[in-house]
Structures are given as C-alpha cells and as structure tokens.
Structure 1
Amino acid sequence: MRLSSVLSLVNQVEKSKFINAIDRICGDAVRHDKKIEAQLNKLDGQIKNASSTDITQLFKIILPYFEKAVREQLAMLGAQATLLTNILSRDGNSIARATWVESLYSKEWDVINRRAKELQAEIEEVSDDESFGNSKRLGIYFACFSEAHSNDQRINREAKITDDERGILNVLAKQLDVTADDQAGIEHLVDKIPKNGVQDALNELREIGLVFISRKRQTVYVPDEIVSLLHRIQGKELADKHLLRILRTFSDAELSNILKNHRKKIRGVERKEKVSNIMKLGVPVTQILQRDLFNDEVTINERKDRLKGLIQDLELDLDKLGATLEERTEIILNSLNNCAESEFNVLSATGFKELFSALQNHFPMLSKVLKHEFELEEQEELDVEKLRALSITPYDILYMLTNEEVKSVVDSMGIKKRGNLRLNILNSFADATDKLIDNYGALARRDLASLKNSNIDIAESEIGVKFEEVTKAIFEQLGLAVDEDLRRAVNTSKDKADVLISLSEDDVIVGEAKTCKNGDFAKYSTTSRQVKAYANRCESAGKRVAQVLIVAPTFSDDFVESAEMDTEVNISLLEAEGLKRILDAYKSRRNPKFSAKLFTKGGLLKSDLIAKNI
C-alpha cells in the first residue's frame, strides 16, 4: 500500500511518530537544501498540520536524508530490529496484525537459532591443516564479525555493528560466499537476537518512522516506499516474488548451475526444491544473471543472448535491450522493480476478480499456496482488495504456481497452449471484460435476456456489482486514474463509494454506478445522501472532491432537476450508453485527447458532444 493510502487510513495519533521523524530530518536538512526549504515554506513550517498529500510530497523530497538517518538508527537498535525489518519488508508482510508479526518473528528466530548451533559445531571442527573449505570460510567470517562487534568495547563503548562495518562485512560475505541464512546464523552466535520483546521493537521502529501501528485494528502497516527503502538498506536488488519469477523461466540445468556455483546439492533434487534452495541463498540477482547461471566457458556474447531470451520469456515491454551484459541486467531489474502499476492495469478490477475466482475453482490449493508463499495468516480471508493492498499483482499470483501447475490450470480452463501460458490466462480474462463492456447498456438496464443472448452467464444478484466493476474498467480504458487504494482507505462498512478517480494529488471525482430495471433512475434523495457521505469521507482524508459523477441507464426529469439545484455538492449525471459512446470514440481515435475534467461540467452531461471532441 502506498504511503498516501496508509496516511489516509490511520488517525493523527498513529501517524504522529512518522511526522515527527520527518520534522527532525527537515530541521537538519533545510539549511542546505533549497527544495526542502521551498516545500516547508508552502506549509508555513507546520508539518504537523499538513495534509496527507503534502506529507507524501515532502517525504519524496527528503527520502535520501530519511534513508541515511534510518541506516544509522537501525544500526543502533541492533539485531532484533534488523530481523524484524527483514520480516516486514518481505512480500505479503507489509500489512499484518501485530500478533501475526510476533508469530513470524518467533518462527524466524527458531530457524536462525537452529542454524546458529549447526554453524557453531561446523566452525569448531575446523583444523589448522584444513584446506580452504566451508568450515574455514565460515570461521573467517565469524572471526571478522566478532571483531567488528566487540571492538567498540576497547574504547568503552557499547558493542554493536555500525552501518559502515556492516557494509564491509557484506563485501566479505560475498567474497567468501557466505549465504544469507549463514550470515544471520553467525550474527546470532556473536550478538544473540532476543526471542521476546517484539512489541517493544515494533514501537522502536515506529519511533524512527518505519512502521505505522493502528491501535484500533491492531495492525502494522509498512508503506511500499518504506519497503523499497528497506530493500536498499539490505542490499536486496529484487523482491522475492520477482526473483521467483526469473527462476521459473530457467531450465533445470541452469538452476543446477546456480546451486553448483555455491556448492549446494543438486543430485536427486527436484526442480521445485532447487528453486526454493536458490531463494534461500540470498545471492544478489546481478551475480545470478551475470555469473552463476553459466558454466565458466560461456562467452560474454552468449551470456548477453541468454539475457535477451530472459527478457522475452518474462514478456518485458522494453524500449531498448542494452548493449552490454551489465546494461541488460540493470534493465531487467529496473523493469521488474517498477512493474506493479502496469501489471495491475493489464486487467480491469472486474478482470482481476474474475481471474482470482476462476483460479480458485480450477486450482483449489491457490489460497493455501498464496498464504504460504506470502506468509499470510491461515484464517485470513483472501480477496482481490487484500491482494491489491499488498501490491500482489495478477502476474505475481500466476508466478506463485509452478510451471506444471500452470499447465494443469490451462488444461482445465481450456485456454490455448501455445506461447507464454501465464500470459494466455491473463489475456483470456481481459477478453471477458471487453465482452461485458460491449454489453454495458444491457448490464445497466439489468436486461438478463440480452446478456444471455450475448453468451454472458450472470446471476441477477450479481448485476449491480458487475456494473460497478465494468464502469471502473471503462474509466481505466479512458486513461483515468481509478484509485483503489484511496477507495479502500476511505470506505467503511456503512459508506462504500463505488469509484474514486484521482485528478491530482489533492482532487478526486467520486463515482457512483446505478442500475435500473424499469424506466428512468429516480431515487435522488437516497443517492444524494450516499454520495455526500462518500464526499465527506474523502475530505476527511485530506482530498478535495471536485465532482460527484453518477452513471445510470437514464435519469428521470425530477432527478436531473434535483441534481442541478443541489447546493451542497457538485453533481454530474451520465447515461450508461453515453459513457459507452465516449469509450468507443476514444478507442477509434489515433491520438485521443480526453480529460476527466469533461465529467465536471455538472448536470446531465452531453455524451455525444464529449465523444465528438475527444
């Protein structure tokens, strides 16, 4: 979930520590940074009274200073904070109940403690005449880590690993090929990680602005921007889900090459276990793509060609491939690190829900797989909104399935088997959304007979929800910013807006989609109460409601007149068939020009005129 959405979700007290952290950093940096000075001047220096939008913009400007401060403070907090941030920055853990974070911590602690005991036995067995084997390498790293930790005590300071020392130890670990789990185990031997006190450690992370804790929901939130920051501090080039995506494309021989290069067992190891073992290594993705993937005799040109093939396998839409091995590696990493928004846009909100529902039917183990891979609570109810909040895209879901499982799903669903199977599945649901858009008018009128004649099988009880979802899909295809994160943040169990369209950081359009079976839509008093409640929720979250847009099959004369005379909120009305005509005109133009401001004129909108001027 983006920072702006988290800020809209939590109350003033719950975001106070984050604002205090920003305030401290601004106080130190403003003297020599003109951009920060200019932004503070806009706020009259009153950060604590700033809107969520202003805080988000300020955070973007001070991010380098914030990251530097966090590095220093995490080093001071010690091994427990490091372990906790490692857990919270993993896929699926950015929104979690505090009790679940404690259970994940306990589980991780047990794994590290067990590995630490194994490492201690291995290090102690090393003899003076032993060749440079695994025990010798681990012993060297252990000795260096112990020295880095204890050297402060000689000058009467608390023993700790500074950020600079950790950087040197990371280089040493890379040169000695000490894997991530072994690094954690050795650190536990030298500086034992406390098993208890997780709540206190969470509060310490909250103090330095890394997490938000909702007391009401007893939930910990880590914004996407903070997750990316923690990955940089950890030296993590890609999220685990993206590394998994890369590994899924490799052949068995290539997976074996990676494991062989780190002296790991490959004989008799199944493909699924090979992938899992590589994930545990913690090896930089750059090293995998440039070295570990290949035998020593493979030339640079052959390695470049293999990365070109990887780009095609991953279906990355790139403007350039890069001329060197390093450039191609960087392009792959950047593309995957910035792919979330485009991957969510591949399917409409309707398409995503349809995909998730169909996958659950054709692969009943899906929820169990996702909960295991993303470390979600067993009793948690999984739905598309929860997945979107965790930044889990349709691509991410499909790559959680093994290649064999994807083949089985394709067979079960009767989808074509040529080409990229995961992409074939996605495209089939994009087509289903297009079919509903083509019959948008019938959907608005709740015309079941027309829908069935078009081979659309839908229950009457589902029509309202489908109409809302297809309306979102149309807005998305018009290039509008349908803000699901904000909608989720402002909605309550009582007040649930259908659509929120972001015009800017501050301005939104509140959209409401209404079906009507017989005649014109005429329920103005009820509808106006609803949209005014939604507008109030948005304004409480620091947004300005530029317009309310109501979409229905047709409107009664009284409804139109009441909307035009309403002085409390600006309301625009748009007939469903008219919205479809606007979309058709948009798609027919080579370079369409369309702005959401065309929906802010008020009263009954003239769709023909809007379509003509696109």
Structure 2
Amino acid sequence: MKLEKILDKLGSIEKNSFIKIIDNIISKKPSSIKEIEKILSSTDKGLKSVDNQNISNIFSLTSEDFLNQIRCEFQEVTSQLDILIDIIIRDGNCIMRQDWFSRLYESEIKNLKIRIKELNNELENEKSELGEERKRDYRIYRSCLSTAYNNDALNNREAKITSDELSIILTLAKELQLSQEEVKLINYSILPIKKVDIHDVINSLKNIGVIFYSKKDNTIYVADEMVRILRKLRQKDVADKFYRRTLKSLKEPILNQIAKKHNIDRKLDYSVKIEEIINSGISFKSLLTTDIYKEGSTLTDKKKHLNELCESSLNINNLKGSTLEEKISSLVEYFENVEKDEKVGISIDGFDKMLTELNTSLPALNKLLKNKFELQDEFVMKADFLLDYNIKPRDILDLIVKTDLSNFIKDNGIKQRGDDIANIMEHYKDAENLYLENYANVAYRDLNLLKENGIAIKESELGLKFEELTKVIFSNLGFNVDEKSKQKLNTNKDMIDILLNLGNNEVIIVECKTSKEKGYNKFSTVSRQLKSYQKLALHNDLRIIKILLIAPEFSDDFVTDCEMDTEMNLSLITASTLLKIVDVFKTSKYQVFPHVLFRDIIINEERILKALNK
C-alpha cells in the first residue's frame, strides 16, 4: 500500500513517530532541502499541517537520509532488527494484524534456531554435502565474529560489536560471498537469540519509523516506499516475486549449481528449490554475476547468456549497458520500475474476472497465494485486496506451474499459441474498463502512457474517446445520458457533447475538452461555445440546472475568468477528480449522484468525496 494511502487511514497520533523522524532529517538540511522548503512554504505550521500527498513527496526526497538513519540502528547487532526487517519486507507482509505478525515472528525465531543447529551439524560432519571450501569460509567468518563479540567480556566489559568491528565483519561477509541468510545464521550461532514481547517489537519498529501501527484495528502497515528502502538496507536487489520470475526461467541443472554453492538441498522439488534459493538471501546481482553460468564461462559468454535470459524468458528486450554489471543493474532497474508502477497490466474488473475463473479451475490456488505471500485472510483472491499488498496479475500467474497454466488456458478458451502468461493477460485486458482507468491520460492526449498501459489508439480518435468515456462515467453515476434529446437539440453549428436529463424539463449540459498543454486556458473560446448551447436549450423550454466543463486541468486565469462570468451556472471538473468521484460513488449509499454537490466554480474533490462517504 502506498504511503499516502496509509497516512489517509491513520490519525495524527499514529503518524507522530514517523513525522518526528522526517522533521529531524529536515532540520539537518539534507541535499533536497530546497525542494522540501518549496512544499513547506504553503504552511507556516511545519510538516504536521502538510497534506498526506506532500508528506509522501517529502519522504521520497529524504529517502536516502532515512536509509542512513536506519542503517545506524544496525550498530546494535543484538537488536534482532535484521530478523524483523526480513519479515516485513517479504511480499504480502506490508499489512498485518498484530496476532499474525506475532505468529510470523515466533515462527521466524523457531526456524532460525532449527537452521542454526543444522548448520552447526553440517560444519562438524565430515560427510556433509557442504564443500570444504565453503566450510572454511563459514569458519573464518564465525571465528572473526566470535572474537569481535567476546573480546569485550575478556576485558570485563559488556559483550558487543562496535561500529568499526561491524564494518570489518560486513566487508568479510561480502568478500566470502556469503548470502544474507548465511550471515544471519552464523551471527545468531554466536549472538544470543531470544523472543521479545511483541508489543516491544512493534514499538521499536514504530519508533524508528519503519512501520505504522493502528491500535484501533490492531494492524501494522508498511508503506511500499518503505519496503524498497528496507530491501536496500538488507541488500536485496529485487522483490521476491521478481527473483522467483527470474529463477523460473532457469533450467534445473543451473538451479542445482546454485543450490550446491549455497548449501541448499539439490534433491528438493523444482518449485521448492526455487523458494529455498529466494529465502537463502543470495544476492540477485551476485546470482547473475557468477552463480548461473557454467564453470569456465568467458565474460562474452555471460553477457550473451544474460541477454538470452532476458529476451526469450523474461520478455525484456534491449537490455541497456555494455558491461555485465551494467546489464544486471539495468535488469534490477527494470524490476524496480515495474514494482513502483501503479499500472496493473489489465483492468481491475479484468483482474477480478481472472481471479474468479482461476479459483474455479484451480481451487488450490487460494491456499497457495496465502502461503507464498503469508496472507492472513481466508479468501484472498480479490483484486482490490491483492493490489493493497502490491500483488498484481503477473505475480499470481508466476506462481502457477506450467501444466496447471495450460489446463486453465484450455478451460477458459484462451489463445494457446505463444507465451501462456502474455495470452492470459491479453484475454482479461477488458478494454472499456482499461480505458476508464486511463481516463486522465486520454484527457491529456498522452499517447506514450496509453501505449505503455496496453492501449492502442490514434491521436485523431482521442477527443471522441474522451467524450464516450465521460458518458460511461455519468451513466455509472446514475444519470440519464439522453442521446435522443441531444440529437433533437443539436444543429449543424451547435453540437452539445453530453446532455444529462434530470426529468421535468431540467438538464445538465456537459462539455468535454482534451488538451496536451498543462492548464486549460481557452476561456473566451469555450464560453462562447457554452453560451450557444445555453441559448439552444432555453429556446427549447429546458431549464439548465448546471453546465459542467471536463478537462485535464485548468489554469488559474481560466478559473478566474470563470468566476467573473455572470451569465452561466458553470462548474469546472478535472478528469482525475471525476474519476475519483465515480470510484467512491460505487460504495456510497446513493443510487444517483446528488448533483447539488456540483456547486463550486472548480469542483472541490475532497468535499464531494467526504459527502459520498457519509
């Protein structure tokens, strides 16, 4: 869930710790201070009085500073912060009720102790599958850590690891190519590990700003933006779902090669082996730098292999960069952009339909999703629910084994030639709803964004498409979009876009305007046009309740000119506002949108949304 959306859900007390931390960062004059001061200039009461959208923008500007502040918390190596962060950055753990988080924490401690015991046995067993070279690496790291931790006790001081010692230990782990999980297992074989009270755990995470906690519903929230920062802290280059997508594109001998190097059982089932590799904490970049190639591969071979992997298996063409490192960084950046992107790839309705039909064809999928994403709810196959966890259609399809995917395609009449996942996504695209979700992009005539979102349309068709979509929106708001009466009124000279018939000879006239330019600024032209429509309606004995003008946005001059006009009862609505209104209207108590709410010169989005939510 995005930070702004979480902040909207919480009260001021629940946001207080986070706000204090950001305020403290701002007081130290970070490099982005000028941009921050521009945002804060609209208020003289500081960060607390800034709206949630701008708090989110300020957090984005201070994210590196925030990361450095959290990094300092790792100086206290007995804090269990690594364990806790590894839980909250997993896909699906961004929203958790307290009891569920407590269960995950207990399970993590229990599993950690079991795996530490297994590792110690492997090190002592001469016949273990763990290679001598890897045993040597583990022993070197463990001996150095033990010395760093216990040397204080020898001098009658409290046992701890200083920041200087920690920096050396981290460098050693990197040079020995130890995964995060390997480091964690060895660390806690030396450092004391005990279960902490869950309330203390929540408070400690809340006080350093990485989680929000709502006492009202006993729920922990971790913002998507925060997860990306914490992932960087734990040196996880990509989300688990993208790691899984990449591993699934590898052949089993390569997976066995990776498993052997990192002490993972090669006899495990293919899909289980993939999950073990993900959970082992092996760096994604390290995996693509060395682990997936045959022994003796040249640099040219590696680059060729990586290109083939991206193009044929991941459908990512033209990977940027000339060196291997640049290509890997380009792939990581690609996955980061996909994760940040709010686009779903298909419409929300299409997503819901896909989930319904998946549930019918593959009834075990609900349980698989619950387990893979550690979700608490019993039934999780709902589009809105999954999107709050940033789980998209492609992420779900990646979990399904090929045979089940093929059967689903046959059961639902989906195209069978070509890539299975691409065919499923295309089948559930749902063009009308996809257009509605891109309503603002149509208004702005943004062909590039529309193309990226899977919409192919000619520029000459955008004006008409915007009008058609606006009709659909007003129909969804319960209005009678009266085409017959409009046709009777229209002349060759005056052509009303949309006529809403309220009954009793009362109407609302709607005019639709698209524009590439920022800030619609053609009041004199549009006012003459609207006054002609007004005369036309009055001449036919119709009472005009309101004239509405829909555009991507309006300049300050346009709004001022509109305010000065005394001849028309005109209100201005941006496309994005109208889309939010219809979205909230769906869950409101109203059957027909109360048009009396259209009373401002420029429609106040916040006021209308509050009225609909009452």
TM-score between both structures, scaled by the size of structure 2: 0.70
Tell me whether 65-74 or 237-246 shows the greater mean CA deviation: 65-74
Q: Are the structure 2 counterparts of residues 90 and 131 from structure 1 closer, same or farther at C-alpha, using a change threshold of 3 Å?
A: closer
Give a deviation string over 1:40-97, Cα, whole Å, max 9, x none.
5554361222221221222122222211111112433734232111101111001111
Mapped partners of 2:403, 2:543: distance in 1: 56
Match of 2:436 among 464, 469, 472: 472
- Aligned-pair CA distance for 1:428: 1.1
1:562 partnered with 2:545: yes
Tell me whether 144-153 or 215-224 shows the greater mean CA deviation: 144-153
> How many residue pairs get matched?
486
1:94 partnered with 2:94: yes
Q: How do residues 318-357 of structure 1 correspond to structure 2 at under 5 angstroms?
A: 320-340=319-339, 342=341, 344-357=343-356
In the other structure, the counterpart of 1:243 is 243
Question: Does the Cα contact within 8 Å between 1:343 and 1:395 map onto a contact in 2?
Answer: no
Give a deviation string over 1:446-471, Cα, whole Å, max 9, x none.
xxxxxxxxxxxxxxxxxxxxxxx567
Q: Are the structure 2 counterparts of residues 279 and 31 from structure 1 closer, same or farther at C-alpha, using a change threshold of 3 Å?
A: closer
In the other structure, the counterpart of 2:4 is 4
Give a deviation string over 1:232-259, Cα, whole Å, max 9, x none.
1101111111100001111222222322
Give a deviation string over 1:8-35, Cα, whole Å, max 9, x none.
1111111011001111222223699544
Q: How do residues 41-120 of structure 1 correspond to structure 2 at under 5 angstroms?
A: 41-44=41-44, 46-76=46-76, 78-120=78-120
Q: How do residues 206-285 of structure 1 correspond to structure 2 at under 5 angstroms?
A: 206-262=206-262, 264-266=264-266, 268-285=267-284
**Partner of 2:374: helix, strand, or coil?**
coil
Question: Does the Cα contact within 8 Å between 2:206 and 2:212 map onto a contact in 1?
Answer: yes
Mapped partners of 2:220, 2:163: distance in 1: 26
Q: Are the structure 2 counterparts of residues 50 and 516 from structure 1 closer, same or farther at C-alpha, using a change threshold of 3 Å?
A: closer
Question: Does the Cα contact within 8 Å between 1:29 and 1:65 map onto a contact in 2?
Answer: no
**Partner of 1:29: helix, strand, or coil?**
coil
Radius of gyration: which is bigger? 2
Mapped partners of 1:313, 1:255: distance in 2: 18
Question: Does the Cα contact within 8 Å between 1:71 and 1:163 map onto a contact in 2?
Answer: no
Mapped partners of 2:241, 2:86: distance in 1: 15
- Aligned-pair CA distance for 1:341: 5.2
Q: How do residues 452-463 of structure 1 correspond to structure 2 at under 5 angstroms?
A: none
Mapped partners of 1:149, 1:42: distance in 2: 51
Mapped partners of 1:162, 1:370: distance in 2: 42
Give me the CA root mean square deviation: 4.0
Comparing both chains, which one has the higher relative contact order based on Cα–Cα distances under 8 Å and sequence gaps of 6 or more? 1
1:401 partnered with 2:400: yes
Q: Are the structure 2 counterparts of residues 149 and 37 from structure 1 closer, same or farther at C-alpha, using a change threshold of 3 Å?
A: farther
- Aligned-pair CA distance for 1:476: 6.3
Give the aligned residue type for 2:50. A
Give the share of equivalent positions with the same residue, in percent. Answer: 27
Give the aligned residue type for 1:348. S
Give a deviation string over 1:199-242, Cα, whole Å, max 9, x none.
21111111111110111121101111110110111011111111
- Aligned-pair CA distance for 1:146: 2.0
Give the aligned residue type for 2:116. A
Question: Does the Cα contact within 8 Å between 2:414 and 2:427 map onto a contact in 1?
Answer: yes
Give the aligned residue type for 1:183. V
Question: Does the Cα contact within 8 Å between 2:474 and 2:481 map onto a contact in 1?
Answer: no
Tell me whether 313-322 or 324-333 shows the greater mean CA deviation: 313-322
Mapped partners of 1:321, 1:280: distance in 2: 28
- Aligned-pair CA distance for 1:396: 0.7
- Aligned-pair CA distance for 1:344: 2.8
Match of 1:514 among 477, 481, 490: 477
Mapped partners of 1:365, 1:250: distance in 2: 25
Give a deviation string over 1:574-605, Cα, whole Å, max 9, x none.
9xxxx9xxxxxxxxxxxxxxxxxxxx9989xx
Q: Are the structure 2 counterparts of residues 100 and 232 from structure 1 closer, same or farther at C-alpha, using a change threshold of 3 Å?
A: same
TM-score between both structures, scaled by the size of structure 1: 0.70
In the other structure, the counterpart of 1:442 is none
Question: Does the Cα contact within 8 Å between 2:547 and 2:570 map onto a contact in 1?
Answer: no
Give a deviation string over 1:125-174, Cα, whole Å, max 9, x none.
689xx994554433322222222334455777654445664454344334
Mapped partners of 2:122, 2:263: distance in 1: 16
Q: Are the structure 2 counterparts of residues 418 and 31 from structure 1 closer, same or farther at C-alpha, using a change threshold of 3 Å?
A: closer
Mapped partners of 2:343, 2:304: distance in 1: 29
In the other structure, the counterpart of 1:365 is 364
Question: Does the Cα contact within 8 Å between 2:181 and 2:280 map onto a contact in 1?
Answer: yes
**Partner of 1:422: helix, strand, or coil?**
helix
Question: Does the Cα contact within 8 Å between 1:348 and 1:476 map onto a contact in 2?
Answer: no
Mapped partners of 2:434, 2:115: distance in 1: 51
Q: Are the structure 2 counterparts of residues 307 and 164 from structure 1 closer, same or farther at C-alpha, using a change threshold of 3 Å?
A: farther
Mapped partners of 1:331, 1:373: distance in 2: 27
Mapped partners of 2:95, 2:284: distance in 1: 26
**Partner of 1:78: helix, strand, or coil?**
helix
